[in-house]
Amino acid sequence: MTHAAPRAVILDRDGTIIVDHGYLDDPGRLQFLPHALEGLRLWQAHGHPLVIVSNQSGIGRGMLSLAQVQAVNARLLQMTQAAGVRIDGLYFCPHAPDSGCACRKPATQLVLEAAAQLHFNPAHSVVVGDKSSDIELGRRLRAISMLVSADGRAADGLWVEPDFVVRDLLEAAHLTLAAAGAARRGEPAG
């Protein structure tokens, strides 16, 4: 029987955990998506590290200040903690899409930093998000990718091939746990 360690769950922020309001500059507008907290709690209850990795190009585009993004992120961590969820790490890229940086998803730098700090194997993780960059990040890591979508399309309109399409984080958490159960029993994960 194989005993697999819990997979780290790499989560996008806007459109995955919280409502995507565009360039969110007001912590007071933070609003969890339906079933997001239930999914986070389920992963946490089964020992899965929770890591948020987010592109915040509004900073690089001059639409948001670093302080505004940090305030939103701090409020998000307060709200998840108040709901009984501990986020193990929160990382974001502040650069504009054309900056050529190594940290903007789908580049892997932020996940590799998280993996080094939190001691997980990026290839043994689950990447969950609503955009094509999230799914491509999962591919580059050789991780499981899950697209949060009501209609099977990425929020940025690009065509993607995730491993799974899910309605919300609760469904994503159930799929993660089912895959872990299959691995423990020595069954194929798909």
pLDDT of residue 3: 47
- Burial (CB count within 10 angstroms: exposed 0-12, middle 13-18, buried 19+), residue 47: exposed
CATH number at residue 149: 3.40.50.1000
The reply to whether 55 falls in a domain is: yes
- Helices marked H in 46-168: 57-60, 66-82, 109-118, 132-141
The reply to whether 3 falls in a domain is: no
Q: Which of 14, 130, 134, 163 is catalytic?
A: 14
User: 106-130: string of b/e by CB count within 10 Å (b at 16+)?
Assistant: bbbebbeebbeeeebebebbbbbbb
The reply to whether 87 falls in a domain is: yes
Q: Tell me the pLDDT tens digit for each residue of 39-77.
A: 999 999 999 999 999 999 999 999 999 999 999 999 999
The reply to whether 134 falls in a domain is: yes
The reply to whether 148 falls in a domain is: yes
pTM over 0.85: yes
Percent of the chain past pLDDT 70, that is, above it, reads 93
The reply to whether 89 falls in a domain is: yes
Question: What residues make up the domain containing 47?
Answer: 8-184
Active site residue 14: yes
The reply to whether 189 falls in a domain is: no
Task: List the strands of the sheet with 164-166, edge to edge.
Answer: 89-93, 50-55, 8-11, 125-129, 144-148, 164-166
- The answer to whether residues 84 and 40 touch, using CB atoms and an 8 Å cutoff, is no
Distance between CA atoms of 120 and 24, rounded to whole angstroms?
Answer: 30
Active site residue 12: yes
Phi and psi at residue 125, to the nearest 5°: -135, 175
Give the number of domains in the chain: 1
Phi and psi at residue 128, to the nearest 5°: -125, 125
The reply to whether 1 falls in a domain is: no
